[in-house]
Chain A
Amino acid sequence: MSDLISNLYIFVLAGFLGFEVIRRVSPLLHTPLMSLTNAMAAIAVVGAILLAGERKSDLATVLGTIAVVAATSNIVGGFLITQRMLKMFKTSRGPKR
């Protein structure tokens, strides 16, 4: 129960932090922002890996493995496309520093 409360603190504080940081993102980059946060939320792969590898039951292994596939495709695809998109943004004032 105390774990739950301390986790709740973390959730609320991280939410505020996210709010303050993301508010500053230029509208220019809203699409890459969404693909980046999506890739990062695929950190759920951590839980999926544990399920797939702990062999607690056949069902858990199967569901965990599918979950690993889904999350990994988000990680790989999300970071790849974010990087590709950002490479396209150039200024007219010569190359990026």
Chain B
Amino acid sequence: MPIEAGIVIQIVYLVAAVLFVLALKWMSSPGTATRGVYAGEIGMLLAIIGTLLHHGIVDYKWVAIGLLLGTLIGVPLGRVQMTAVPQRTALSHAFGALCVTLVGAAEFFLNTPHVAKPLMGILALEVILGSLTFTGSLMAAGKLQEILPQRPISYKGQNLVNLGTLAIAIAIGIYLIYHPGQPVLFLVMIALGLIFGVAMIIPIGGADMPTVISLLNSYAGLSAAAMGFVLDSKLLIIAGALDGSSGFILSVIMSKAMNRSFTNVLFGAFGQVQAAAAGTTEERPVRSATPEEAASILAAANKVVIVPGYGMAVAQAQHKIRELFDTLTKRGVEVSFGIHPVAGRMPGHMNVLLAEADIPYDKLLDMDEVNGEFSQTDVALIIGANDVTNPAARTDAASPIYGMPILDVDKARTVMVIKRGMSPGFAGIDNPLYYLNKTLMLFGDAKAFTGEVVRELTGGGGHGR
């Protein structure tokens, strides 16, 4: 009887694994993505039910309490504002890593001092990855929520200190493989992992967040897979490997979009661009325009590409932009959006905000799609984006962002930039785009300025029709 139950549970797990793979496959396009989520949910439900059937479970009280409490915490986390999605995602990486670390620690204390060598090696890997992902993700969430300063903090020898911390943790892990009867050392190893997680995120600034979140996503997945090895759970190995490779692919896409090398990503050496900052920028003349002037140029255009960036999210301008989109579309202007892979604070951030504002997703073009279109574009309207539009990345070999793929907005007939002032972007790099003859600077808050342009277009300065 127990053997049969065991086989049933294994088959349930297998079905769950297949559903997870299908869920990811269906995520490939918006048309089938919702089906993908359902597949994932059914797979998860099956796996939990299958686990509850386990004959080893003698006490359901704590399991029930845990499931209930987790649901109570999870529901509000699933209902956060779309603008809070990056920090919510970072927080969920922290929770996932916390779970893995605690389970790993419990397994160690249940088995010490008799832990088989391979098991101990994987356990060490699991808790190091888990603990650094836990604090790293909490730090990232804190920075994104602006509880912690967004500014990167760096000091001399930082990389040495950080890598040293990690190296000692790994050395302890290796020592434990041969001497597993050392609970204190095990705890020291976890503590070092926790410290490394904090230290890893300290030098990272806001613009590097898309890469960092993807990397933490990958670590969370890999630590879950390691836990699968420890528990001999193939389902967990598969789910962890899927999550790990997803985060890995996203990190590679993000690092390519920022022209960072792959080792740069793996070893977390982010946020070092700003070292080469600013220099002496003499006052150069720029052309600025009022909302009326901007509105009349937009109204006369045939084709407009809007380029949003993190500034749009900060100003919460997406709904005003939707009004602008509607007004221009009604006048027969062709409007689309050009979205750089690292615009915003996490992969796909801009797409979600614009979709929330009801902008149809077929108008959201990625970098490769939109770059061919700028030469036929009358107006490129940049809202809250800076470095991803900086032509110095193409032309100036001395620029810190040289080589980074950018949106070729300077090929449009007219460029408009909504910006609070002339301050440089995150990387502290001056943007030559602003001094071009075809560029009009629209100084002001993104939301307020867009609102005024819309008012000009619809009612002629608020007189109504």
A22 to chain B, nearest CB (A): 5
- Which residues from chain A sit less than 8 Å from chain B, CB to CB? 1, 3-4, 7-8, 10-12, 14-19, 21-57, 59-61, 63-93, 96-97
Return chain B residues, CB-CB under 8 Å to A84.
Answer: 78-79
B62/A64 in contact, CB under 8 A = yes
Return chain A residues, CB-CB under 8 Å to B41.
Answer: 79
A85/B352 in contact, CB under 8 A = yes
Quick one: CB contact mask for B1-45 with A, threshold 8 Å, 1 for yes? 000000000000000100011011101111101101100110110
Question: With contacts A14-B242, A73-B70, A77-B75 known, is A86 near B34, CB below 8 A?
Answer: yes
Instruction: State the CA gap A21–B240 with chains docked (Å).
Output: 15
Q: Counting CB contacts under 8 A, is B200 at the interface? A: no
Instruction: For A19, give its contact among B63, B80, B102, B249 (CB under 8 Å).
Output: B249
Task: Tell me the residues in window 230-249 of chain B with beta carbons closer than 8 Å to chain A beta carbons.
Answer: 230-249
Given A22-B249, A63-B103: 16 more A-B contacts, CB < 8 Å: A14-B238, A18-B241, A24-B25, A25-B27, A29-B29, A29-B351, A30-B348, A30-B351, A37-B24, A41-B220, A50-B51, A51-B107, A70-B70, A71-B95, A74-B96, A83-B37
Question: With contacts A31-B351, A71-B95 known, is A14 near B88, CB below 8 A?
Answer: no
Instruction: For B31, give its contact among A63, A68, A75, A97 (CB under 8 Å).
Output: A97
Instruction: State the CA gap A41–B199 with chains docked (Å).
Output: 25
A43 to chain B, nearest CB (A): 4
A-B pairs with beta carbons under 8 A, tally = 381
B138 to chain A, nearest CB (A): 12
A53/B232 in contact, CB under 8 A = no
A53/B63 in contact, CB under 8 A = yes
Instruction: For A47, give its contact among B57, B65, B78, B233 (CB under 8 Å).
Output: B233
Instruction: State the CA gap A70–B71 with chains docked (Å).
Output: 9
B214/A76 in contact, CB under 8 A = no
Q: Counting CB contacts under 8 A, is B74 at the interface? A: yes
- Which residues from chain B sit less than 8 Å from chain A, CB to CB? 16, 20-21, 23-25, 27-31, 33-34, 36-37, 40-41, 43-44, 47-48, 51-52, 54, 56-60, 62-63, 65-67, 69-71, 73-80, 82, 85, 88-89, 92-93, 95-96, 98-100, 102-103, 105-107, 109-110, 118, 213-214, 217, 220-221, 224-225, 227-250, 253, 339, 341, 346-349, 351-352, 355-356, 358, 360-364, 366
B37/A82 in contact, CB under 8 A = yes
A54 to chain B, nearest CB (A): 5
A40/B239 in contact, CB under 8 A = yes
Nearest chain B residue, comparing its CB with the CB of A59: B109
Return chain B residues, CB-CB under 8 Å to A29.
Answer: 27-30, 33, 348, 351
B224/A87 in contact, CB under 8 A = no
Nearest chain A residue, comparing its CB with the CB of B41: A79
B245/A53 in contact, CB under 8 A = no
A24 to chain B, nearest CB (A): 4
